[in-house]
Amino acid sequence: MGSRHWEMCTLPFPLVNRPRHMLNICKLTVTREGLPTCPAEEGCRLLVDVNIKCSDGTSYGAHARNLEFHCDSFPLRSFDSDPDPNDLVEEIIVEEDGQTMALLCKFIHRQRQPDLETLDWPQFAKLAAAVEKYGVFAAMEVCKMKMSSSIETHPYDVHLYASAANYDSLSTKSLGLCMESHPLECFIRANEAGLLDLRDKAALKTLDLTVEAAVSALKNSANWTFTFAAWVSRTTFPPASSCIRFCPDCR
């Protein structure tokens, strides 16, 4: 469908747009007995007083002070003094998988940060999303730099990340690369990623396609019938702002 081919993965970026401290993190109070260990480093000697339960069923021990000092979105109780080892601990149920949260924990310890170059792209992209979601300041800039350096090979993921995190310059640059692909390919990828503005812009560039040509191309995408329905909707009833911009009769 075009001269460029890019990989893309599905990410939970819409969560990033929620104001920090208003994230839907479920907290329960559990006993200290049988708490999991901290994944940040082997033999971590800090007191585990938080249990992080991940979406894949794995659990990790964490430290309230570290979360409080290094993150912006974990609504933990404030500790004014050293925690009592006999106290109950908090359990936080998160939407991320275990590998993502284990990596995240490594960024909130006083130690060498993980080498992002060793991560495959889907795992890095999930980490970058979680870093923005939870406001892990120590990892924000390094993730942004890697996203920026990957813009040529993963423009759709970079655009999704940058748009959600309000990195306007990176969002604009990645948008231009996305639009360089075939309009229908751009429509498919933007529709799958929930990039509605990009999807609508791409749809306007496919108005000269026949239904047969669109069906032939869309059949290669996942859930193509839903994608086709979205394409018909956007090309039959384009947004009013786009109609005014592109239709001479509406100017």
Q: For 130-152, how does the pLDDT look when each residue is reduced to its tens digit (9 = 90+)?
A: 999 999 999 999 999 999 999 99
Assess whether 139 and 227 both reside in one domain: no
Q: Tell me which range, 69-73, 77-81, 197-201, 219-223, is most confidently predicted by mean pLDDT.
A: 197-201
Domain containing 27 equals: 1-157
Q: Is 250 buried (19+), middle (13-18) or exposed (0-12) by CB count in 10 A?
A: exposed
Q: What is the pTM of this model?
A: 0.74
User: Residue 91: pLDDT band by 50, 70, 90 thresholds?
Assistant: confident
Q: Which amino acid is at 176?
A: G
User: Residue 120: pLDDT band by 50, 70, 90 thresholds?
Assistant: very high
**Residue-wise pLDDT tens digits, 21-64:** 444 455 556 666 677 888 888 878 888 888 899 999 999 999 88
| pLDDT the model gives residue 96 | 94
CB 202 within 8 A of CB 183: yes
* Domains: count for the chain: 2
With respect to residue 165, please indicate whether it lies within any of the assigned structural domains: no
> Domain boundary at 93, 122, 157, which?
157
Pairing of β 26-30 and β 89-93: antiparallel
**What residues pair up with 60 in beta bridges, in sequence order?**
52
CB 87 within 8 A of CB 153: no
CATH number of the domain within which 85 lies: 3.30.710.10
Residue 168 has pLDDT above 80, yes or no: yes
With respect to residue 173, please indicate whether it lies within any of the assigned structural domains: no
Assess whether 150 and 104 both reside in one domain: yes
Phi, psi of 83 (to 5 degrees): -65, 145
Assess whether 111 and 215 both reside in one domain: no
Assess whether 6 and 96 both reside in one domain: yes
With respect to residue 171, please indicate whether it lies within any of the assigned structural domains: no
Residue 129 has pLDDT above 70, yes or no: yes
